[in-house]
A and B are shown apart, each in its own frame.
Chain A
Amino acid sequence: MSATIDINNVTKAYGSLTVLDEISLGIEAGEFIVFLGPSGCGKSTLLRMIAGLESVDKGTISIGGDRIDTLPPGKRGVAMVFQTYALYPHMTVAQNMAFGLENIKIDKAEIRKRVEAAAETLEMSHLLDRKPAKLSGGQRQRVAIGRAIVKEPKAFLFDEPLSNLDAALRSRTRLELAQLHQRLGSTMIFVTHDQVEAMTLAHRIVVMHDRKIEQIGTPMEIYQRPATRFVAEFVGSPAMSMLPIKALEAKAGKTGLDVAGAGMIETTIKLPADFKLDGAAIGLRSEDTFVVNPGEDGLGLTVSVVERLGERTLLYGKLDNGLDLIVEDSGRSTVRAGDRVLVGFDEKALHVFDGNDKAYHWQEEA
């Protein structure tokens, strides 16, 4: 029982401070969509507006075609899992889950059935009579999810649910959430600032920044073809290296870019005639770079820090003109801090950003 969610031109302001600016977004039924962004970008506010915990100043929100932004939270058919779980401390797990159903006068037998089913799905049937104080963090989170499941909502809302878990538990819970989504097939909206969570769980990611949506796309789209400079720098670890473009030269079928530190690069990426040069740069992910053998063509990089990650080695260094670059080498690299190596990169993997931070990518010859 999941539904589509339509957010139309939604704006929210606190007095003169605009927190969300004309946000529009369509979420498909059964989709797992992630709102990703740094703190303060408005992602939690947007989620809470869908839940009904914040008011909508302009625009509308609809679920399954029915407008909900004028309804109280309990009547919207959504369920929310809070970052701090917000379990009722004085009630047992079973009572926590039953509470919402009691309020809408569902009969006792049906309540018990749903509670037991949810408990079984989440493997916590043995915890039903315990109070939250006697549960671990991971167990509490499952109760919060259970409380949402029994409501059989049209959509699940998750507000940074993994932030309070330690690292090991986090990856395990991520997996369980993915399995839960497969099993239930419901629409799920997940808010986080952690790109790994976003990349691994989402069907589509909504990257938000500074009160606006930067890009909506599948994880691969976001990663490989970021629409703006912000998305490119936010997603991916380590962050994309940026090298400023000094000059542009249109040639037959190609464009020549004079890039600081890298010299002249020819690329088939189509750039428009009104490409803003001031502030433009190219972006390089470290996995698209490599160390060339001495004697071959390459850019000089003086390595200052070497990170050996096992399956790969990251070389942090400065090009000859002083610009920073991160280069990836094989896991068996013998490069040491202080070495000067020659590096190259895959020209097809370049990302070009104009002065307005808009991105241009290499187009597949269809």
Chain B
Amino acid sequence: MAGKRKDTYSPEWLTANRWFFWIAAFLACVMAAPVLWVTALSFKDNALLMRGTEAVFSAPYTLKNYFDLLHSSLVFRWVLNSMVVAIGQTAGVLILASLAGYAFARLEFPFRKTIFVIVLFGLAVPEQAVIIARHQMFSWLQLHNTYWGLMLPGMSSAFGVFLMTQFFRAIPREIDEAALLDNTPRFRIFWKVLMPLTMPAQATLGIFTFLLAWNDYWWPLISATKKDMYTLTIGIASSQRNFAQSEGLGFLAAQAVFAALPAVIVYIFFQRHIVTAVSGGAVK
């Protein structure tokens, strides 16, 4: 408002000019447009769309595509696979990273510092550098097209260990000392005293890992080659291949909306945790 003056000068004042906001709002429309487009398409009958997609702007709308989807045999199998893999990988990461984080933060053992540095270097290794070798390995071990085969590679991520180590380090040492005077054995200190205090980090790491596992593309692409072992992400990709001659744009659009739902639901409920995970907790 032109007449309204802010008495304190703050970062908000910096871009209080309305132009900033309206450009951002315009960009937001551009952001939302594709999603709205696809969602709208999903509510149209395929036959009508075949004749021309302008049909999307007018009635009639239908839920037929979603019914077809629900009757399609494989989609639910794919969702199940994604669930198992994502939950399994998340559980694995949380357990492995917590145990290791506690040890790196609180315990002493030979070469502790060196090993930690090596783990940190692991953060720099991109997927391509290891994926071919991993594939060979898993072929030899016959782990392809199995749940373990899909879950295991993600558990080697150094990010979780790094995060948990930082978190354990932040807990005041006096708590450990009080537990020592309470005659608590090491593992009990870890499990009953310190772990419960890392819940925020567990939540953050857990959600982050869950999404990463759910959305993983390259590894499931080459490891899950049987249609019934596809994760949802790969399943959607396979349907895309026949885009031009597909079962119909409407049906495909419904697939896209359906596949996006889990991630969107997780996002809506856990937005705070996701933002914390990526921004280090500094964004309010």
A and B physically associate: yes
Q: Which A residues contact B (CB, under 8 angstroms)? A: 51-53, 72-75, 78-80, 82-84, 86-90, 99-100, 103-104, 147, 151
Name the CB-closest residue of B to A100: B182
Q: Does B178 lie within 8 Å of A78, measured CB to CB?
A: no
Q: Does B180 lie within 8 Å of A72, measured CB to CB?
A: yes
Cβ–Cβ < 8 Å partners of A99 in chain B: 179, 182, 184, 192
Q: Does A53 lie within 8 Å of B177, measured CB to CB?
A: yes
Query: Which residues B180-207 have CB closer than 8 A to chain A?
Result: 180-185, 188, 192-193, 196-197
Q: Does A74 lie within 8 Å of B181, measured CB to CB?
A: yes
Query: Which residues B245-273 have CB closer than 8 A to chain A?
Result: none
Q: Does B182 lie within 8 Å of A74, measured CB to CB?
A: yes
Size category of the binding interface on chain B: 10 to 19
Q: Does B181 lie within 8 Å of A79, measured CB to CB?
A: yes
Chain B nearest CB from A146 CB (Å) reads: 13
**Which of A75, A84, A103, A104 has the most CB atoms of chain B within a 10 A radius of its CB?**
A103
Known: A80-B177, A82-B174. 18 other contacts (CB 8 A): A51-B177, A73-B180, A74-B184, A80-B178, A82-B177, A83-B174, A86-B178, A88-B175, A88-B179, A89-B175, A90-B197, A99-B184, A100-B181, A100-B183, A100-B184, A103-B182, A147-B182, A151-B182
Is B172 positioned at the interface, with any CB of A under 8 Å from its CB?
yes
Q: Does A84 lie within 8 Å of B184, measured CB to CB?
A: no
**A88-B193, A90-B197, A103-B188 are contacts. A74–B175 as well, Cβ < 8 Å?**
no
Cα distance A231–B193 in the bound complex, in angstroms:
42
Q: Does A88 lie within 8 Å of B184, measured CB to CB?
A: no
Chain B nearest CB from A61 CB (Å) reads: 15
From A74, A87, A88, A104, B180 is in contact (CB under 8 Å) with A74
Q: Is the interface of A mostly helix, strand, loop or mixed?
A: loop
From A74, A75, A82, A90, B196 is in contact (CB under 8 Å) with A90
Q: Which 5 residue pairs spanning A and B have beta carbons closest together?
A: A74-B183, A100-B182, A86-B174, A86-B178, A103-B183
Cβ–Cβ < 8 Å partners of B177 in chain A: 51, 53, 73, 80, 82, 86
Chain A nearest CB from B142 CB (Å) reads: 44
Name the CB-closest residue of B to A88: B193
Task: Indicate with 1 or 0, residue by residue over B156-181, a CB within 8 angstroms of chain A CB atoms.
Answer: 00000000000000001011011111
Cβ–Cβ < 8 Å partners of B175 in chain A: 86, 88-89
Q: Does B178 lie within 8 Å of A75, measured CB to CB?
A: no
Cβ–Cβ < 8 Å partners of A53 in chain B: 177, 180-181
Cβ–Cβ < 8 Å partners of A90 in chain B: 196-197
Q: Can you sample 15 A-B contacts with CB below 8 Å?
A: A52-B180, A52-B181, A72-B180, A73-B181, A74-B181, A75-B183, A78-B181, A80-B177, A82-B174, A84-B172, A86-B172, A99-B179, A100-B181, A103-B183, A147-B178
Cβ–Cβ < 8 Å partners of A89 in chain B: 175, 197
Cβ–Cβ < 8 Å partners of A104 in chain B: 183
Cα distance A83–B174 in the bound complex, in angstroms:
9
Name the CB-closest residue of A to B182: A100
Cα distance A262–B245 in the bound complex, in angstroms:
112
**A75-B183, A103-B183 are contacts. A88–B188 as well, Cβ < 8 Å?**
no
Q: Does B180 lie within 8 Å of A84, measured CB to CB?
A: no
Q: Does A88 lie within 8 Å of B178, measured CB to CB?
A: yes
Cβ–Cβ < 8 Å partners of B188 in chain A: 103
**Which of B174, B178, B180, B196 has the most CB atoms of chain A within a 10 A radius of its CB?**
B178
Cβ–Cβ < 8 Å partners of B180 in chain A: 52-53, 72-74
Cβ–Cβ < 8 Å partners of A75 in chain B: 183
Chain B nearest CB from A81 CB (Å) reads: 9
Cβ–Cβ < 8 Å partners of B184 in chain A: 74, 99-100, 103
Cβ–Cβ < 8 Å partners of B181 in chain A: 51-53, 73-74, 78-80, 100
Cα distance A295–B180 in the bound complex, in angstroms:
69
Cα distance A84–B180 in the bound complex, in angstroms:
16
**Which of A51, A73, A84, A147 has the most CB atoms of chain B within a 10 A radius of its CB?**
A73
From B174, B192, B197, A84 is in contact (CB under 8 Å) with B174
Cα distance A73–B181 in the bound complex, in angstroms:
5
